[in-house]
Chains A and B, each alone.
Chain A
């Protein structure tokens, strides 16, 4: 037997359990010999025969798995649902707890904001990789344990998750109103009570003083209106097309000026930027403006798309509620 064939036989026999090795080896060798002979008789050029036969038999690991009935997958359909569910539960519980604990530790040991954030992210990534690896390993081992087939996990209808509630949740509404109100309060506060001081130690605003008397009140008005809309929407039980339209107008009323002002470099107070530059942040103006533009556009796009996703569901939900009451 030539080297390719004997290498193939070895490769197959290496992947079957010890007890069957000798037998399988002999069978595969005989099979190769027969297939060769048949191909030679059929007129295949002798130099191509061996290669063709081995290609016909295919990947030796696969053939070995067929011989010994071993799975060719890491986790099969019996365990896959349980595996995914466990991963989800761990990702939703252990992951945030560990990340939070690490961040708390950094905070208590006096780390700055960057250290705290990066510590949390790195710890989270590490834990995620560990969880994924070990859970996968354990399930792969269970899959390969012959006794485990009887202990197939059972599924029970009571474990079904709740259907997502239609309409608005109170928590979401409160969060949205708080964000809007904080932003409304920030606009005058940064002007009169800014924690930043110029080189002379005098308090200076972060936003351009020239934005008074028009732009800043406009922004405050827009944000206030957003808060009011959130409240009314909660009372009405979710999105309707009219809310979607008003929401879009309000979003653009706030976002377009902010993006425009940032793009024309007139959003921030020049003294504030100047101070940052003298502190060594040479590109402060560029970085801040670009950050503001990106965040604003991202938030606006989300706030325009999210209602579109929810409006149908909320409308149907309201109709159903009215129907079941009536």
Chain B
């Protein structure tokens, strides 16, 4: 059905930016790639593995995550933790998120066409 395809396309677009926020928020507690994948899955923010692993590396490169190899377990794992600048970025993104949500709600609750009618 075409509507469903359109919907899932838009949903994907809408969710894309939220993965970064979810990762930064979750990794306040140190964790490794698969652990994060499982947590996100459980909380309803499922991400593909082949999207998440490269993303973690990108965030690390940007200094938003601190990472080090943990060799205490049976096999080495890369442990990530949200860095100081990662935390402040998450704050900015959250503020942006709330701002967008407020604006959208305001738009939806107003008399449908008044904003358009007020245009010059």
Which of B14-22, B47-55, B91-99, B105-113 faces chain A? Answer: B47-55
Contact string against A for B residues 17-51, beta-carbon threshold 8 Å, 1 for contact and 0 otherwise: 00000000000000011100010000000001111
> Could you tell me the distance in whole angstroms from the C-beta of B22 to the nearest C-beta in chain A?
18
> Could you tell me the distance in whole angstroms from the C-beta of A119 to the nearest C-beta in chain B?
51
Q: Are B49 and A30 in contact (CB under 8 A)?
A: no
- A26 interfacial contact with B, CB 8 Å: yes
Report Cα–Cα, A23/B76, bound state, in Å: 12
Q: Are B50 and A34 in contact (CB under 8 A)?
A: no
B34 is contacted by which of A24, A31, A62, A69 (Cβ under 8 Å)?
A: A31
Chain A residues in 8 Å Cβ range of B34: 31, 34-35, 37-38
> Could you tell me the distance in whole angstroms from the C-beta of A166 to the nearest C-beta in chain B?
34
Q: Are A33 and B50 in contact (CB under 8 A)?
A: no
Q: Are B33 and A34 in contact (CB under 8 A)?
A: yes
Report Cα–Cα, A27/B76, bound state, in Å: 9
Closest A residue to B52 using CB positions: A31
Q: Are A31 and B57 in contact (CB under 8 A)?
A: no
Q: Total contacts A to B, CB within 8 angstroms?
A: 48
Q: Are B54 and A34 in contact (CB under 8 A)?
A: no
Report Cα–Cα, A37/B55, bound state, in Å: 22
Count chain B CB atoms within 10 A of each CB in A24, A27, A58 and give the residue with the most: A27
Report Cα–Cα, A69/B58, bound state, in Å: 8
Q: Are B76 and A26 in contact (CB under 8 A)?
A: yes
The count of residues in chain A whose C-beta lies closer than 8 Å to any C-beta of chain B is: 20
Chain A residues in 8 Å Cβ range of B32: 30, 34
The count of residues in chain B whose C-beta lies closer than 8 Å to any C-beta of chain A is: 18
- B75 interfacial contact with A, CB 8 Å: yes
- A28 interfacial contact with B, CB 8 Å: yes
> Could you tell me the distance in whole angstroms from the C-beta of A63 to the nearest C-beta in chain B?
5
Q: Are A27 and B50 in contact (CB under 8 A)?
A: no
- B78 interfacial contact with A, CB 8 Å: yes
Q: Which of A21-68 contact B (CB under 8 A)?
A: 23-24, 26-28, 30-31, 33-35, 37-38, 56-58, 62-63, 66-67
Q: Are A30 and B50 in contact (CB under 8 A)?
A: no
Chain B residues in 8 Å Cβ range of A58: 50
B49 is contacted by which of A26, A57, A67 (Cβ under 8 Å)?
A: A57
Chain B residues in 8 Å Cβ range of A38: 34, 38
B33 is contacted by which of A24, A30, A69 (Cβ under 8 Å)?
A: A30
Contact A56:B50 (CB < 8 A) given known A30-B33, A31-B33, A38-B34: yes
Chain A residues in 8 Å Cβ range of B87: none
Q: Are B49 and A31 in contact (CB under 8 A)?
A: yes
Residues of A within 8 A of B (CB): 23-24, 26-28, 30-31, 33-35, 37-38, 56-58, 62-63, 66-67, 69
Contacts A/B (CB < 8 Å), 7 sampled: A23-B57, A28-B53, A38-B34, A56-B48, A57-B49, A67-B54, A69-B58
